[in-house]
Amino acid sequence: MGRAAAFFDLDRTLLRRSSTLALAPAFRRHGVITRSQVAKAAFWQLLFVLRGASRERVRAAAEDGLMLLRGFSPERMQHLVGEALEPVLAPLVYDESLHLLRQHRERGEPAYIVSAALQEVVDALAERLGFDGALGTVCEVRDGVYTGRGIRSLHGENKADAVRELAAREGYDLATSTAYSDSHTDLPFLEVVGNPVAVNPDRELRR
């Protein structure tokens, strides 16, 4: 039997708010999105918080977001995220989540961020916070820039599949592993482990 591992969702589980919305001003400064797109993102985020969002709506919003990256390079994205890491993202991390991370690490359990956020975002946060790694949405790169097409979008069942693949590759025992999330859209992700934990659950997940 393999060892247990821990898997943390990002938005409103590890962070107090949406990582994408938190990064929106930086995206605007770097020319990734316009002022009106920042306002639209804030509007959708408010609806998600107040009403929850269906898996289909989350998936569609993520696909729209990837299209905004078209023509932007991964190197510029890494620079953008690195620039925003300390002043923007790090202050949003829940102390409780860091405490849970330390507990898992003290038990010898590897810990990962698993999120629909862009891989470059979760990689930077995982390194900064002391996680063993991260699984995120991967956008296709061609001729050195993003095409806007997702190669791996971590939504719904895809998120659970990514955890299964990681566990098989690293020899983790999912039956004794733990996953944390706030959203009912992450039920497949929560159900893939033996110890699912709801953190700041939305209304449907609370039910």
The answer to whether 9 is a known catalytic residue is yes
Q: Per the residue annotation, which of 9, 123, 186, 202 is the catalytic one?
A: 9
For the chain, the three-class secondary structure string (H helix, E strand, C coil) is CCECCEEECCECCCECCCHHHHHHHHHHHCCCCCHHHHHHHHHHHHHHHHHCCCHHHHHHHHHHHHHHCCCCCHHHHHHHHHHHHHHHHHHHECHHHHHHHHHHHHCCCCEEEEEEEEHHHHHHHHHHHCCCEEEEEEEEEECCEEEEEEEECCCCHHHHHHHHHHHHHHCECHHHCEEEECCHHHHHHHHCCCEEEECCCCHHHHC
Instruction: List residues with catalytic annotation.
Output: 9, 11
